[in-house]
Amino acid sequence: MIYIDVNAIYYFLTAHPQYGRRAKELVVRYGDRLATSALTPWLIYVLVRDARAVEAAMRLARLLPLTDEIYATAVSLERPRDFEDRVHYATMKRHRIGTIISNDRDFDGLDVTRIF
């Protein structure tokens, strides 16, 4: 599995002028292996306010459960800086995923490989 961050899904779904092409390349390349947190569809909705985007995000990647264990791990982390990213990182660790598709440099320096 390869984890896909909210930003990459957003860029893909919105055909973002700067990052959309790269996001699409990565989605096409890794499409059948993508996973993300169950938090991601909600975050996509917050960003675009469109239920169709939520449905598309849910089809794009396998949704991994958001559990009390993952929240507890996220709370205990010092990095990444943003709590949302800590939830993503804790989800990755729980599911032993070592690669993330993201343009968020807050994942750099952690024990995961970031591609974008």
Strand partners of residue 64: 37
Mean pLDDT of the chain: 96
* Alpha-carbon gap, residue 116 to 26, rounded angstroms: 8
Q: Sketch out the chain's domains with CATH numbers.
A: 2-115 (3.40.50.1010)
pLDDT class of 101 with cuts at 50, 70, 90? very high
Name the amino acid, one letter, at 67: T
pLDDT in tens, 19-33: 999 999 999 999 899
This prediction has a pTM of 0.93
- Tell me what the mean pLDDT of segment 16-20 comes to: 97
